[in-house]
Structure 1
Amino acid sequence: MCAQLPMRSSSRMSRPFPAALAGALLALLAAGAAIAAEPPPPRPEAVRPYLGPQHRVEVAKGRRLNLVCMGQGGPTVLFEAGGSDWSAIWALVQPAVGRGTTACAYDRAGLGYSDPAAAPRSPIAVVEDLHALVSAAGLARPLVLVGHSLGGFDAKLYATLYPEDIAGLVLLDPAEDRTWDRTRALANARFGARTAAKAELLDQRFLARLVDHFQSCGTAAREAGLDPASDLYRRCTDPVRPRLGPEIAAARVEVQKSAAYQAAQASEFAASVYADHSGDAAYARLFKPGVLGERPVVVLTHVEEPSDDPLDALDQAQGLALHRATAALSRRGVHRTVPNSSHNIEIDAPEVVIAAVQEVVGRVRAKPRGRRR
């Protein structure tokens, strides 16, 4: 998400917030710090599908979503980007997956090359759009859904609402609902009531400031536009990701400076599981251990070097606990950590993501149809 966010405390900005905050809200603050030696960017022909609209599918009257597919065979793998992102973020992963099966990625409403939507971009709105896209595009079901960050939460919600569509899940640092309700006891026991209370209060303050921040970016883009050379543009957009190559970097500028993109970004965060708790009761009913039956699920969590700061340590402990619980939605769920990566695992460790997707695809192929429950 936005490159220069209002700070809640210098020590707590090293991890996505709170605990597993989706959409690269904080990872982008460390964007400049090298995670590992930079490999060469992808070849131009590999990124071409992400430089403009590909297959625009009507999901509602007069409104279309951009779909990028490659490869053949089944099961179909469908990629869901994190907050503020779209299909281009998968450029280091999707082509490799597409060499072994059908691999598709799409742009949510108002992002990338998809039409904007008038309604708030809540998780249920995203899921309903995705369900309409899968149906209208005729994607073969059940499919393997891969989601990052806020997109990871959307993928989890889709799987519980439309289980007949889903053969398996791969979730990268997925956003989590009810983070404090689910981890407050752990935080109190491990870090003490005072530290836990401080962390929770800082998170609440930070969330309010983030909503204001994104809304101000949307207003600025609508009223005067965003000059890519300005500090305002830098504060309201993701940083350049060199690993995706210069062609994607240039295309991202054109998208991110638009009023439609800024409005969608602001709406997605304001209606997210972090800023809008109106769906909490429904999420509590949906996300029960074993609800996904025997469907293979792999959850990946990035981990950082141990910190002496208790707030940082609390963040990481929360994220790990929440992601273990998400893996337990399936009786075949697996949780793994990814060291030496930022929140954008698909950028820093694409080989780990590719291997996880291929693992789930292989497990789906090996399992007879009709035995997922």
Structure 2
Amino acid sequence: MRVFCIALLVTACLSPSVSLAQAPPKMSAGSPELLDKHLIDIGGGRKLNMVCMGKGAPTLVFEQALGGTILDWQHIQVELSKTNRTCFYDRAGYGQSPASDQPRTPRNVTDDLHALLRKAGERRPVVLIGHSIGGRYAPYYYERFPADVAGMVLVDPGFYGQDDLGLSAADQTFFDGLRTKVYAKWSNCAAKARSHEITLEATQGCFAAKLPYYTRDEAARMLPVFQRPERWETIASEYGHIDEDKGPRKTWGDLPLAVLTRTEFPPTPRASEAFNQSVEAVLKRGHAALAARSSRGENITVPNSNHYMQANQPGPVLAAIRKVVAEASAGASR
């Protein structure tokens, strides 16, 4: 079980997604354009959905969490789009992007983004903002395509080694059981989707219709995505392949970098105190190590924040992004 999912196990890593735009929806915070469908041909007969708004360099590109959505960013999108071009995309199998027949390895995911930015004609280098598993894909992308990246903001990111919790035998057995349960959850939701059993009235535990950060209108728009079997299959594939990323292999020089760490660590139900303490300690050490890879790296603890801090504490996230953007812009002008 990946640590970036532990805080979300109660909902089996569920998060909201989007579907085809109809009448302009009532939005919690973001622009209605976030729900638009804009498929871009990336070659090989494949397309990915990406919505870009605003003007101003550098362009900001957002990587969502495991099972995440474009709407995860809506509480910071409007402000950022006032000053910079902002691009939000659905990885293959997510949101409005068709699924891929290739396993969702970090290499395949980052190959897709590399092709997408080129086919879309987006100006590079960009600032990458990655949340959770997206905070693993962003550094992986940077190490493969360093000329494409002017800076990074990693929002409560995952990292290689986060499963090394130093658990007792009993706690490790419990941990392994969590992994089994979450895979079973995704498999069940894929089956329910194939049999058309997921609705707003009967969610089958596969669609969180009552979400803290989204309107009922948005929830109705999200539903069709949760009804796609390939969504659940994609989540399982990403999760199963993530440790093919063995972690950063290079120092990152003076790359503008911010690593944001939450302060709220809800206890995992039925876990021991030692288990919960280990999860928190390993996460904090891992984030500090990521920030230390750049001479300009900063590990920022965001007060009163949870894993989705871009929604529950958008101010500090905005501030961190703006600082990295300013540093990247200053570097580009030298």
Does residue 248 of structure 2 align to residue 266 of structure 1?
A: no
Q: 2:105, 2:242 within 8 Å by CA — same for their partners in 1? A: yes
Give the equivalent residue in structure 2 for 1:164.
147
How far apart are 1:86 and its partner, in Å?
2.0
TM-score by length of 1: 0.78
Per-residue deviation, 1:341:
2.0
Residues 238-269 of structure 1: per-residue CA shift (max 9 Å, x gap) = 45434233332221122212223233233222
Superposition TM-score, scaled by structure 2 size: 0.86
Note the C-alpha offset of 1:271: 2.7
Q: Which one of the candidate residues 227, 238, 256 is aligned to 2:199? A: 227
Question: Counterparts of 1:8-87 in structure 2 under 5 Å?
Answer: 18-21=2-5, 25-26=8-9, 28=11, 46-53=30-37, 55-87=38-70
8 A Cα contact 1:147 1:170, kept in partner = yes
Residue equivalent to 1:347: 311
Structure 1 residues 30-66: Cα deviation after superposition (integer angstroms, max 9, x where no partner) = 99xxxxxxxxx9857943112231x211113332111
Q: How far, CA to CA, are the matches of 2:52 and 2:104 in structure 1?
A: 24
Corresponding residue of 1:323: 287
Per-residue deviation, residues 332-372 of structure 1 (Å, max 9, x unmatched): 11111123222111111111211111110011111246x8x
The counterpart of 1:294, out of the listed 231, 254, 258, is: 254
Distance 1:202 1:305, change over 3 A: closer
CA contact (8 A) 2:156 2:261 kept: yes
For residue 278 of structure 2, the aligned residue among 314, 322, 327 is 314
Structure 2 unaligned regions, length at least 5 = 15-24
Cα shift at 1:225 = 4.2
Identity %: 32
Residue 74 of structure 1 and its aligned partner are, at CA, apart by: 0.3
Q: In structure 1, what is the equivalent of residue 110 of structure 2?
A: 127
Q: 2:178 aligns with which of 206, 209, 227?
A: 206
User: Residues 92 and 350 of structure 1 are in contact (CA less than 8 Å); yes or no, is this contact kept in structure 2?
Assistant: yes
Supply the distance in 2 between the matched residues of 1:226 and 1:264 (Cα, whole angstroms).
Answer: 18
TM-superposition CA deviations, 1:129-161 (whole Å, max 9, x none): 111111111111111000101111111111111
In 1, are the aligned partners of 2:5 and 2:13 still within 8 Å (CA)? no
Do 1:211 and 1:269's aligned partners in 2 also have CA atoms closer than 8 Å? no
Q: Deviations over 1:312-338 (max 9, x none)?
A: 221111110011111122121111112
Asked if 2 retains the 8 angstrom alpha-carbon contact of 1:174 and 1:323, the reply is yes
Which whole-Å CA distance do the structure 1 matches of 2:55 and 2:183 have between them? 41
Which one-letter code corresponds to 2:161 in the other structure?
R
Matched, 1:149 2:132: yes
Secondary structure of 2:153's match? strand
Q: Secondary structure at the match of 1:244?
A: coil
Mapped to 1, the partners of 2:208 and 2:254 lie a distance apart of 37
> Structure 1 365/259 Cα, relative in aligned 2: closer, same or farther at 3 Å?
same
- Distance of aligned partners of 1:265 and 1:29 in 2 relative to their CA distance in 1, 3 Å threshold: closer
Q: Which amino acid aligns with 1:300?
A: L
Conserved? CA contact 1:167–1:364, under 8 Å: yes
Q: Secondary structure at the match of 1:206?
A: helix
State the alpha-carbon separation in 1 of the partners of residues 120 and 139 from structure 2. 21
1:68/1:27 CA distance change after superposition, 3 Å: farther
Is the partner of 2:127 in helix, strand or coil? strand
Deviates more, 1:157-166 or 1:262-271: 262-271
Q: Which SS does the other structure have where 1:75 is aligned? A: coil
Q: AA paired with 1:292?
A: W
Task: Tell me if structure 2 keeps the 8 A contact 1:66–1:113.
Answer: yes
- The number of residues matched between the two structures is 320
Local SS of the residue matching 2:242: coil
Distance 1:303 1:197 in 2: 28
State the distance in 1 between where 2:276 and 2:56 align.
43
Determine helix, strand or coil for the equivalent of 1:367: helix
TM superposition shift of 1:85: 1.4
Q: Deviations over 1:192-217 (max 9, x none)?
A: xxx54444332223213322321222
1:255 aligns with 2:225: yes
1:94 & 1:221 partners in 2: Cα distance? 30
